[in-house]
């Protein structure tokens, strides 16, 4: 009897990780479906109301088309974020990985966020670095674009975002992305890398668009590179994201 009881307990224990992974998979699917359904509902309702109006004016029709287009752009952004997540967790094609000058990755990142930074009047300060990083150039730029773009999004007009790097022993480097923005509450810190998690900052949530997928994509890129990503943050003071990556 004792033998049966012990094996039942062990079996239950060994199934736990699988159960957890199924649970998280199903939560992810339902979150994704929910996010996809919201813009679809808006498009459907607006189109139905417009079609029912026999005296619909051209100006009103154009307004509806504009609003529908906005929802389509949201759907486009969401599906491409979902595809990026799936791609990063499936593929670990290291064949194209190379050593790159980190400065080149920084400059390419700055180019990608320049428009956004200008629109919010945020200065990007790059501290010149001679360090080398090893990995996939496109993904490394993508990673920094996510972090710098968040830093811009969650900072006030006229503030500064800093991008710098430090040597971290013989084989590793640390990249820091610092902002003086709204910061992250300690209750949220443990969750911000979760898929679809957005900190409840009612002040910003309505103003700042996003699906809570950026940081999980960032983490999947760092994980694929065998690195580490952490954050230090103080509400109303700012945040500092630190990524540790390999030099070779």
- Coil, strand, or helix at residue 40? helix
> Site for ligand ADP (CB under 6 A): which residue of 88, 163, 179, 222?
179
* 174 vs 233, beta carbon nearer ligand ADP: 233
3-state secondary structure of 142: helix
Nearer to ligand ADP, 100 or 155 (CB): 155
CA 242, CA 221: separation in Å to the nearest integer? 14
Distant-in-sequence, close-in-space partners of 35: CB < 8 Å, separation ≥ 6: 78, 196, 211
Both structure tokens of 112: 């990608």
Residue nearest to ligand ADP (CB): 210
Position 227 contacts ligand ADP (CB under 6 A):
no
**φ and ψ of 135, to 5 deg:** 160, -155
Helix, strand, or coil (residue 158): coil
> Does residue 39 bind ligand ADP (CB under 6 A)?
no
Q: How many alpha carbons fall within 13 Å on the CB side of residue 140?
A: 28
184 binds ligand ADP (CB under 6 A): yes
- Element containing residue 50 per DSSP (H, E): helix 2-52
For ligand ADP, which residue of 199, 222, 229, 243 counts as binding (CB under 6 A)? 199
Which of 182, 221, 229, 243 binds ligand ADP (CB under 6 A)? It is: 182
Which listed residue (126, 166, 210, 247) binds ligand ADP by CB under 6 A? 210
Contact segment (CB under 6 A) with ligand ADP among 86-94, 104-112, 122-130, 178-186 equals: 178-186
**Who's near 166: CB < 8 A, 6+ residues apart?**
173, 174, 176
Q: What angle do CA 231, 29, 41 make, to 5 degrees?
A: 105
From 143, 145, 148, 215, residue interacting with ligand ADP (rule: CB under 6 A): 215
Residue with tokens 């950026």: 214
Closest CA to 207 of 181, 228, 235: 181
Does residue number 181 form part of the binding site for ligand ADP (CB under 6 A)? yes
With DSSP H G I counted as helix, E B as strand and the rest as coil, what are the percentages for the chain, rounded to 5?
55, 20, 25
Is 135 or 181 the residue whose CB approaches ligand ADP more closely?
181
Minimum Å gap between C-beta 170 and ligand ADP is 30
- Annotate each residue in 123-162 with x if it binds ligand ADP (CB under 6 A) or - if it does not, as one string: ---------------------------xx--x--------
Q: How far is the CB of 208 from ligand ADP (least distance, A)?
A: 7
Pick from 39, 135, 214, 227 the residue near ligand ADP by CB under 6 A. Answer: 214
Q: Report in angstroms how near the CB of residue 248 gets to ligand ADP at its nearest.
A: 29
Crossing angle of helices 58-90 and 214-224, rounded to 10°: 20
Binding site for ligand ADP (CB under 6 A): 150-151, 154, 179, 181-184, 192, 197-199, 201, 210-216, 239
């Amino acid at each position: 009897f004792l033998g049966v009881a012990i094996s039942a307990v062990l079996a239950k224990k060994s199934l736990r990780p699988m159960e957890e992974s199924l649970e998280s998979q199903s939560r992810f699917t339902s979150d994704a479906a929910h996010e996809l359904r919201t813009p679809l509902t808006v498009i459907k309702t607006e189109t139905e109301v417009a079609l029912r109006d026999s005296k619909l004016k051209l100006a009103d029709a154009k307004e509806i088309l504009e609003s529908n287009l906005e929802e389509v752009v949201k759907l486009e952004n969401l599906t491409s974020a979902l595809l990026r997540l799936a791609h990063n967790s499936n593929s670990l094609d290291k064949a194209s990985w190379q050593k790159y000058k980190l400065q080149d990755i920084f400059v390419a990142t700055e180019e990608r966020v320049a428009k956004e930074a200008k629109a919010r009047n945020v200065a990007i300060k790059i501290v010149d670095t001679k360090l080398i990083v090893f990995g996939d150039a496109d993904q490394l730029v993508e990673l920094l674009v996510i972090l710098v773009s968040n830093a811009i999004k969650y900072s006030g007009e006229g503030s500064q975002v800093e991008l710098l790097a430090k040597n971290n022993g013989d084989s590793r480097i640390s990249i820091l992305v610092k902002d003086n923005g709204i910061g992250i509450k300690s209750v949220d810190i443990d969750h911000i890398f979760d898929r679809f998690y957005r900190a409840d900052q009612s002040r910003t949530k309505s103003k700042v668009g996003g699906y809570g997928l950026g940081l999980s994509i960032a983490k999947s890129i760092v994980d694929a590179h065998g690195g580490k990503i952490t954050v230090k943050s103080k509400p109303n003071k700012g945040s500092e994201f630190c990524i540790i990556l390999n030099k070779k």
